Amino acid sequence: MTERVLPDADTVEAALASYDGPWGAGARVLSVRDLSTGLGQAAVLRASVAPPHASASPWIVKILGWGRQTLLDSCDRLLDRREAHFYASGISDLLPSGLTTPPAATVFRHHDLTWLVMRDIGAVLQQSWTPGSATTAARRTALLYVPGSVRPGLLDAPWLELAGYAAYAHHVPAGHGNLDALADDARLRALFSPEQVHSLHACLDAAEDLGARAAELPMTLVHGDLTPRNAGLDPYGALALIDWEHVGVGPVGFDLGTFVSLYRAFGGNGELDEPALLEAYGRAVRDLAGTDLGPAAALGFATAHLTWGLHLRLGPGLTAVRQGLNRDAPAKLAAHLDDIRSGCLRALSWAPAAGVDALHR
């Protein structure tokens, strides 16, 4: 993909002027700031937008397909368009009380590109996560079960992601290669013991079987990338979610697994009691479904750790380190390696729950 120069304030203002949106006619764009993470395929900007005769307010502007390829190297052809489908479909309007998305989300075309513009909820997302707020998030995450139960045909939309647990399975060969290379790398050989390396290889080998079991579980609408960076609790206790590029259909428990997997890496404070969080989620989804989905949720939760979590860490996560990521920033490198180690070991702890024999390969 050819890298583009990010649009300036005048370019964004011209795009907003081309569509009759909630920002109002004649709105001025006073400034733009690049928020692109480098991981997605969209330019993400925070724009200060001032309607006529009103104070400026912050908006998020996404220009789909205005990004670049990264080590994540997504094989998902719909990744850069799925969030626009999500908002245009009206699914966000079916989310029950307790779940919210950014207000005034608007999708339109301008100069042959799709633009997605919404109110900025950065103040909600910048909160500090704690084990207590994580428990609230677990209960609120269960509410994603509601849209599919109210309107089952909703989950048949062709643009929804259907196997998020396999979203990064194409990195499994790289994960095996990175594990094999640890012994010859003085910086990394102490990351895992030989027994742990063996078990991680076994878990990578189990990806296809894990996916097959996950596909048989009760399904729910899933955010697909529910991490602490993409979520916050608003002043009323509702779980606010952004970045719906991976929205899809997945096993119950999966979204909670992704949240827990990256909790510490993305700034969460304190140690999480994962079984207790899973129990809180299970009780909430049981009340919604009218049946006990606890065992299924446990398998979906474990699958998130053992596929999505492992594939990201052992594939692009370790590859980035071996290519020099944070080589001149020891503290950042140490934090990155600590997340790889702790995340992989937590995943291994869930292997028995997922029926994976991590001791044999």
Q: Which of 98, 323, 336 is nearest to 231 (CA)?
A: 98
User: What angle do helix axes 207-214 and 194-205 make, rounded to 10 degrees?
Assistant: 50
Please check whether residue 201 is in contact with residue 348, taking contact to mean a CB–CB distance below 8 angstroms.
Answer: no
Work out the pLDDT band at 1, boundaries 50, 70, 90.
very low
User: Model confidence over 121-147: pLDDT tens digits?
Assistant: 999 999 899 999 999 999 999 999 999
| Structural domains present in the chain | 9-120 (3.30.200.20), 124-354 (3.90.1200)
Q: How many residues are there in the chain?
A: 361
State the pLDDT at residue 358.
Answer: 75
Give the full edge-to-edge strand order of the sheet including 231-233: 99-100, 239-241, 231-233
Task: Match 């203002």 to its residue by tokens.
Answer: 13
Work out the pLDDT band at 107, boundaries 50, 70, 90.
very high
Work out the pLDDT band at 333, boundaries 50, 70, 90.
very high
State the pLDDT at residue 309.
Answer: 97
Q: What is the pTM of this model?
A: 0.94
Q: Where are the beta strands (DSSP E) in 151-199?
A: none
CA–CA–CA angle 204, 207, 212 (5° rounding): 165
| pLDDT over threshold 70, residue 39 | no
User: Model confidence over 16-30: pLDDT tens digits?
Assistant: 999 999 999 999 999
| pLDDT over threshold 80, residue 58 | yes
| Residue 115: strand, helix, or coil | strand
Q: Which of 196, 202, 197 is nearest to 178 (CA)?
A: 197
Cross-strand pairs, 62: 44, 116
pLDDT above 90 covers what percent of the chain? Answer: 86
C-alpha span between 186 and 87 (Å, rounded):
48
